[in-house]
Structure 1
Amino acid sequence: MKSILIVDDDVHIGNMVEEVLQKAGYQAARAYSGTEAAMYLESHKPDLILLDLMLPGLSGEELLPRIKGIPVIVVSAKAEVSDKVELLMSGASDYITKPFDTKELLARITVQLRQAVSRGANPELSYEDITVNLSTHEVSVAQIPVHLTRTEYAILKILMQNPSQVVTKSLLLDRISQDTPDCMESSLKVHISNLRKKLREPGGKDYIEAVWGIGFKLT
């Protein structure tokens, strides 16, 4: 069952949308402020978000850039074309103006979920404030681009695919060879050291921990 997060402080509208979604076979979750939505997203990954703009705490405009790898349909009373264009350029997948027809809303949701599947559902990996785009190979830390070598990227991708596990040296070398052949056991520590330094520069903290005699993990 696909899950949809409704971010709206209007209880009446939220109740109506939740009922419509449940009748259509979706699982619905609620957040009544941008701050509450941000906290929810730290531990949950819905398939789609319906986002109001006028919210207590973080506004919808402030929350939108923080959402990665999840389609967002902005649901707002703002009807100006300039507002819609700005939000679409800021990362929104679609925009529907209040008041709206529920059939149109469901149709737009269907389109976005279908497109997400065709894109591979989620072309990004995220860990804390590190983001790796698997399609473009772009890496950012705290939204600051970080330029990695092919080997460094391969190492980071494997670690982020296993964020709660220690990745052994042998597994790391085996998996890296699928993306780049130039990393040997003798040079692995050098690549890890360079990667750790590049990730540390934007935010000033370490993300990779060496587990003595075993391998490496995200920390």
Structure 2
Amino acid sequence: MRFTPVGSSLDAIEYWRGLLLHHVPEGAVTYSAELLAESPIVLHISRPRKTKLGHFKRTTSRSIPEISINVDLGPERFLFTLIHEIAHWKAFDLYGRGIRPHGREWKSLFIELIRPLLQKEVFSPGIAAVIQEHLRSPKASSCSDPQLQRAFDQAEGIHRPHLDEVPYGEVFTLSNGRSFIKGPRKRTRYLCQEVKSGKRYLIPGAIHVLDHVESV
């Protein structure tokens, strides 16, 4: 579903508050609403996606920027992802298209935006501690940080193994039913061969797997 407010900035804040009450921790509702109300933005609550939790879509001069967040995220993970994408939006507004997506401009804004939430203790202690460590060098997404992914999983009661935990050379299955052989690590991803097609894909190490068996 796509959401965008109309009317005054106060109307926009109330609009976003009403929407975010269902998705982020209570202590972050007003702060997040105020960030979204600063200028026109479309928020798309997306169906679950396997390779991304959120996305910022750059726009032309005549269209409104868009942020999408997966609908199935727990409140703390949704909030973290929302701030991540708002930082992309603010970086685009301030610096234009010439910057790297996760360069120093984005990192600086992301840290600036998430600090107040840590100071207000919006995140649970276990997640807050991992976020503090994450801020030493913010990654492209929480999926790129196994420790952060596991902290969110624990808070949400998710106990499925991650690809990082699968031994090299074993066959694993994703939630879409596709099976792969785990290959060598490439930074935060693994070059894996699909069993059925033989094609190779880079798959995030923090992605959940349904099961894994020793390759024969």
TM-score normalised per structure 1? 0.29
TM-score normalised per structure 2? 0.29
Larger Rg: 1
Larger RCO: 1 or 2 (CA < 8 Å, sep 6+)? 2
